Structure 1
Amino acid sequence: MTTVSSTTSTTAASTGYSALSSSSSGTGIDYSALIESKVQARLVRADRVDAKITANEAKITAYGDLQDLLQTVNSSLDGLRNRSTATGASSNLFGQRSAYISDEDSFTATVDDDTELGTYSVVVQQLATKHKIAADAVGGKTDALGQTGSFTLQAADGSAVTITMEADDSLTDLRDAINNQTSASGVTASIVQVSDSSYQLILTAKSTGQDISLTDGGDGVLSSLGLTDSSGAIKNELVAAQDAIIKVDGVTITRSSNTIDDAIDGVTLSLYTADPDTAVSMEVSTDLSSIKTAITDFVDAYNALRDFVTTQQAVSSDGTKSEDATLFADSLLQQITKSVYEGLNTSITTDDGEVLSLSSLGITFDSSNNLELNEDTLNTFLTDDIEQVKQLLGLNMTASSSSLSLLRYNSSMTSASFTLDIDVASDGSLNSATVNGDSSLFTVSGNRIVGATGSIYDGVVMVYNGGSGSVDVDFSQGLADRLYSSIDNYADEYDGDLATIIDDLEADDVDLESRSDDIKTKAETYRTTLTAYYARLEAAAETAALLLQQLTYKDSSDDS
């Protein structure tokens, strides 16, 4: 009996782990379901954490989309702020220039930023040409020329180089020898096939207006080639070298090149056709097309932003938020929307009392609060008074002295008018800059006047190169500059409010994922512990059942 009991007990213990379902359990208890129920109860906490992570990820995506849309709006506004790179812009469209030319077949022009505006009368009297000469024709370009000796050649703007020939050199060899020294001589060589059995060497100066000069080494090579005559003069001149000649407002200007960049300050002329009898009008003006394009881009960018905001505010038919409204009732989105709307409603009053606003540009709100652009109104405003456009949109500083200029403007001040009393030392450096006798508002360093930290002028840096005296200063921050600054506080890639909240959510997700993983790990450990525990119970139940069978069998045997 002892041996039998020991064997059956061991068997029961070893099969206990695999007998936890109700179909195989000796007790009829579904331990597997019981274990799963207990484990899932603990995993509910992980599910709640995972749901929070999913919600955070949706918000991160939505905030990222909002940040991108706001940055696109600011990209369109950047060049309209009338700021230089020193004062924080990547470009200033109001400083960009275009040349409007009455006849672009004659010449074209490129204009540097901030070039003085003006109208010019230009007459192209003569184009600059490259000196071009030819040798006598030969029967084959690879046949030996039979010339032995040397000669020198150069263009007027190059240096003399020596070309040495041997009797078996061909026209091709001569061309290559000349071209190997083009960078020094300023002369290039080519071969023209005149007919099936006639080839000519052509020498051309690299630059216009530069004569080619040839000097024989004493062996008569140049005259034998037909490049010079018996007197040493050029024998076959195809094109004479000549300078370009133009008249600008009646003043005759001669240059060796057809590209003239020093006749009108900031303007580069590219000459194409000479017409001595025709005066061509050229107007150097603000590049209105670039400004119009930026304004159009702004309208499109704002409307894309508005569409996003509308989606985030949408509700379903039952009055609950729409499935796509990830940022529904989000306080930061509401704050951004309010700031943008306030910026759009900026108005500027000119010195003569005229009020300028978005509608002055032909931009109005439709019934959905999207922007609509009337191009006719915009075109008229741009062409009639570009200075008012600049005043409406950009940062503007006026000073009663041209010696005072703006270097930096990072201030929240939207407008200001004040008089600077400036004291200059004998060496030209600044002693002080005061406003109404108050020296605490500005500090000075060298020739810089810097708004004091914490003052209303904080973030303003000006440069002064004049003498002691008083300067009246006016600042006005236009619609584009105000709106850009407001948006940048939210959308800056590194320290804007959206970047901060995205960073916080991502950090929160890292912590939440760690918590979720910890809960799941502990739940699986709990599963293992329960499985072992119920396996021991099942094994004990099987052992008890077997013992009962043995006792019952024994009783039956005793009775018989």
Structure 2
Amino acid sequence: MDSEALLSSSYTSGQISFSGLGSGTDFASMVDKLVQLERRHMARLEIWKAEWETKKTGLQELNAKLLSLRTNLQNINTMSKFLVKDAESTDQNVLSATADDKAQVGTHRIEVNQLAQAHILAGTTTQTSTKTDITGSTAQLFDYSYAGGSTISISVPAGTTLEGLRNLINTDPDNPGVRASIIKTGDNAHILQLRGMDLGEGKDVTIAATTTVSGYGTDDFITSQTAQNSQIKVDGYPPGADWIERSTNTISDLLEGVTISLRDIGTVTLNIAVDEEAVKDNVREFVDQVNEVRSKIKELTQVVGESRGSILTGNYGIQMVDSRLKSILAVKGLGFDVDNDVFSSLGMVGITTDSAEGSPSFGLLKLDEEILDHALKNRPDELAQLFAADYIGTSNSSDFRYYSSVNGVTKAGEYTVKYTVSGGVVTSATINGNPADISDTDEITGRSGNPEAGLAVKIDNLADGTFEGKVFLKLGKATEMADALKDLTSTSTGPLHIIKDNYKDITESIDRKIEYEERRVERYEQDLRDRFARLEALLKYYDSLGESINSQLGQLKSDSSK
């Protein structure tokens, strides 16, 4: 066999492999080592990719913490959510009540004389079955009115049963609010009942004289329940035989911020108080949730020793988040005035930052419960405003007052208002130095394009002259931070999302490089195997050739010795 044939038969059939038998050299191990060396660049790419993936995961974890914080802040970002108040009745069987942040703390004595009721008519005509024909062979009319309204006329076909009349009343599209029912009063005894669906005096059901259904006319019903208002007294008022009346048993306009549910006749004491423990839980939750975010930022960015940083040390997106949140926590609230507001910053209610180097909680918020307790017991409303004011407007001037603002348009903050009056008419006005619109001679409104857009101020002093003062539009810390988090976690403009997308692009680019390296190393390995296969085949050929020559030489020696 010639050398070319030997080489071809040694490495071109099937998968290339090296036995080492032909040369005594382990070419397979040599190839593996060379390929391993060639893969070093790919290994570096894998490590690089893992670093970026870790950074991306860190941003995702921080973003999740921010979203969780925002959700929790939204649970306390209004006065009614934050300032929890209880209304406790001494007899829940007579009445129960709930209170919101507008309820005044105190005690009230409430006397219930009667409950509001709906009007009910009961028929006096008894049918042995609900299937009994009540019209015979001729169509009839059933006419009635409700609450003093116009007459409702229902055409009742021939052969209609008691059950059919009930259904005609209830399914009539012109039904003004009357429910018909069948009452079984005994064996083979059924009557028709008509009930007004509204409580209160004057909500009467009246059968019209034009009704022709026999046994169901004006004189065939009795009043089983009178339509009436509820009657109550609050703290002995009104005196004597007079009563406060409502056409409902659920009363929300008697005491501001209190909803009362009447259940029975009787007298109770209603105690309204701040649920101090619930409010403190809201503050504690605020501190804990903020610290969750701060701890994650510390974990991702802290520097260990003098030089070694964490995976996201120096990341500008995290720095933006950290700086924004720290600013909100440190400065006075938007629209708060240090001179006129009892509390204008979190430090005034016991929330500060641990600045002790080496402390396990260094950089985190800490809460002084004693200061919080004092604030809650003495100024609960002002405490609640610091956290949950939802664009509450005030003025420091006796010449004008805050009137209104436009939700989502007017920005919270402090505004300087200046106006001039001549001849009893406002001739010019500015808000924060910007020209303002004047309407109805006594109202100033901020123009669009400025933070004060939509801010309306009511003028009380129309004496000739120039007047100046301030309007404050307050936004609590919970709402301010929730709004900031909405921007920071935006999936389109949020800094963390933008950076995360950038990291994604980088890792995808690395993936493409790794794929290229995979193909290059595969080609390199294949080339090595081809070359070493040829080398082994060649060496095997020469070994065989040497053996043949040695054999021939041996034969010659043998022949010459004969």
Q: Give the TM-score, by structure 2 length.
A: 0.71
Structure 2 equivalent of residue 211 of structure 1? 204
* CA–CA separation in structure 1 for the residues paired with 2:164 and 2:406: 61
| Local SS of the residue matching 1:37 | helix
Q: CA deviation at 1:536?
A: 2.7
- The AA in structure 2 aligned to 1:463 is L
Structure 1 equivalent of residue 40 of structure 2? 44
**CA shift digits 1:57-82 (9 cap, x unpaired):** 2222222222222333344445766x
**CA shift digits 1:258-313 (9 cap, x unpaired):** 456677888766543345xx587697x99988755532321231343355456558
* CA–CA separation in structure 2 for the residues paired with 1:305 and 1:193: 66
Structure 1 equivalent of residue 178 of structure 2? 187
- The AA in structure 2 aligned to 1:69 is K
Q: Is the alpha carbon distance of 1:497 and 1:153 closer, same or farther for their aligned partners in structure 2, counting shifts above 3 Å?
A: same
- The AA in structure 2 aligned to 1:64 is Q
Structure 1 equivalent of residue 8 of structure 2? 13
Structure 1 equivalent of residue 441 of structure 2? none
Q: Is the alpha carbon distance of 1:161 and 1:478 closer, same or farther for their aligned partners in structure 2, counting shifts above 3 Å?
A: closer
* CA–CA separation in structure 1 for the residues paired with 2:208 and 2:549: 135
Structure 1 equivalent of residue 130 of structure 2? 141
Aligned 1:171-186 pairs, distance under 5 A: 171-181=162-172, 184=175, 186=177
Q: Is the alpha carbon distance of 1:128 and 1:347 closer, same or farther for their aligned partners in structure 2, counting shifts above 3 Å?
A: closer
Structure 2 equivalent of residue 455 of structure 1? none
Q: CA deviation at 1:26?
A: 1.9
Q: CA deviation at 1:509?
A: 1.0
* CA–CA separation in structure 2 for the residues paired with 1:145 and 1:419: 78
Aligned 1:392-411 pairs, distance under 5 A: 392-393=386-387, 398-399=394-395, 400=397, 401-402=400-401, 405-407=404-406
Structure 2: any 5+ residue segments left out of the alignment? 439-443
Structure 1 equivalent of residue 378 of structure 2? 384
Structure 2 equivalent of residue 126 of structure 1? 114
Select which of 248, 272, 276 maps to 2:263.
272
Q: Is the alpha carbon distance of 1:131 and 1:449 closer, same or farther for their aligned partners in structure 2, counting shifts above 3 Å?
A: closer
Structure 2 equivalent of residue 540 of structure 1? 538
| Local SS of the residue matching 1:241 | coil
| Local SS of the residue matching 2:128 | coil
Does residue 449 of the first structure (1) align with residue 437 of the second (2)? no
| Local SS of the residue matching 2:446 | strand
* CA–CA separation in structure 2 for the residues paired with 1:287 and 1:194: 50
Q: Is the alpha carbon distance of 1:313 and 1:95 closer, same or farther for their aligned partners in structure 2, counting shifts above 3 Å?
A: closer
| Local SS of the residue matching 1:388 | helix
Structure 2 equivalent of residue 58 of structure 1? 54
Q: Between the two proteins, what is the percent identity of the paired residues?
A: 21
Aligned 1:17-36 pairs, distance under 5 A: 23-36=19-32
Aligned 1:109-120 pairs, distance under 5 A: none
Select which of 133, 140, 143 maps to 1:150.
140
Select which of 66, 82, 89 maps to 1:70.
66
* CA–CA separation in structure 2 for the residues paired with 1:236 and 1:421: 70
Structure 2 equivalent of residue 508 of structure 1? 506
Q: Is the 8 A contact 2:416 2:470 kept in 1?
A: yes
| Local SS of the residue matching 2:117 | coil
Q: Is the 8 A contact 1:165 1:174 kept in 2?
A: no
Q: Is the alpha carbon distance of 1:461 and 1:429 closer, same or farther for their aligned partners in structure 2, counting shifts above 3 Å?
A: farther
- The AA in structure 1 aligned to 2:156 is T
Structure 2 equivalent of residue 296 of structure 1? 284
* CA–CA separation in structure 2 for the residues paired with 1:202 and 1:404: 53
| Local SS of the residue matching 1:184 | coil
| Local SS of the residue matching 1:495 | coil
- The AA in structure 2 aligned to 1:154 is Y
Q: Is the 8 A contact 1:404 1:465 kept in 2?
A: yes
Q: Is the 8 A contact 1:313 1:321 kept in 2?
A: no
Structure 2 equivalent of residue 438 of structure 1? none
**CA shift digits 1:209-264 (9 cap, x unpaired):** 42222246675612xxxx45xxx424433212234455676486655444566778
Q: CA deviation at 1:122?
A: 6.4
Q: CA deviation at 1:52?
A: 1.8
Q: Is the 8 A contact 1:94 1:287 kept in 2?
A: no
Q: Is the 8 A contact 2:115 2:229 kept in 1?
A: yes
Q: CA deviation at 1:130?
A: 1.9
**CA shift digits 1:330-375 (9 cap, x unpaired):** 7765776676566545568843797765465455678643656576
Which region of structure 1 is more displaced relative to structure 2, 254-263 or 207-216?
A: 254-263
* CA–CA separation in structure 2 for the residues paired with 1:27 and 1:480: 80
* CA–CA separation in structure 2 for the residues paired with 1:142 and 1:500: 73
Q: Is the 8 A contact 2:403 2:456 kept in 1?
A: yes
* CA–CA separation in structure 1 for the residues paired with 2:168 and 2:477: 65
Structure 2 equivalent of residue 351 of structure 1? 339
Q: CA deviation at 1:506?
A: 1.7
* CA–CA separation in structure 1 for the residues paired with 2:331 and 2:300: 25
* CA–CA separation in structure 2 for the residues paired with 1:203 and 1:19: 95
- The AA in structure 2 aligned to 1:386 is P
* CA–CA separation in structure 2 for the residues paired with 1:172 and 1:220: 14
**CA shift digits 1:28-52 (9 cap, x unpaired):** 3322222222222222111111112
Q: Is the 8 A contact 2:65 2:292 kept in 1?
A: yes
Does residue 237 of the first structure (1) align with residue 223 of the second (2)? yes
- The AA in structure 2 aligned to 1:138 is Q
* CA–CA separation in structure 2 for the residues paired with 1:261 and 1:396: 22
Aligned 1:329-344 pairs, distance under 5 A: 340=325, 344=329
* CA–CA separation in structure 1 for the residues paired with 2:352 and 2:392: 24
Q: Is the alpha carbon distance of 1:451 and 1:390 closer, same or farther for their aligned partners in structure 2, counting shifts above 3 Å?
A: farther
Structure 1: any 5+ residue segments left out of the alignment? 82-90, 436-440, 453-457
Which region of structure 1 is more displaced relative to structure 2, 212-221 or 357-366?
A: 357-366
Q: Is the 8 A contact 2:353 2:366 kept in 1?
A: yes
Q: Is the alpha carbon distance of 1:334 and 1:465 closer, same or farther for their aligned partners in structure 2, counting shifts above 3 Å?
A: closer
* CA–CA separation in structure 2 for the residues paired with 1:410 and 1:327: 36
| Local SS of the residue matching 2:25 | coil
Q: Is the 8 A contact 1:76 1:295 kept in 2?
A: no
Aligned 1:309-348 pairs, distance under 5 A: 326-327=311-312, 340=325, 344-346=329-331
Structure 1 equivalent of residue 417 of structure 2? 420
Q: CA deviation at 1:524?
A: 0.9
| Local SS of the residue matching 1:296 | helix
Structure 1 equivalent of residue 518 of structure 2? 520
| Local SS of the residue matching 2:520 | helix
| Local SS of the residue matching 2:375 | helix
Q: Is the alpha carbon distance of 1:77 and 1:203 closer, same or farther for their aligned partners in structure 2, counting shifts above 3 Å?
A: closer
| Local SS of the residue matching 2:29 | helix
Does residue 472 of the first structure (1) align with residue 469 of the second (2)? yes
**CA shift digits 1:82-118 (9 cap, x unpaired):** xxxxxxxxx5548989684656655566789989999
| Local SS of the residue matching 2:142 | strand
Q: Give the TM-score, by structure 1 length.
A: 0.72
- The AA in structure 1 aligned to 2:185 is V
Q: CA deviation at 1:129?
A: 1.8
* CA–CA separation in structure 2 for the residues paired with 1:130 and 1:461: 49
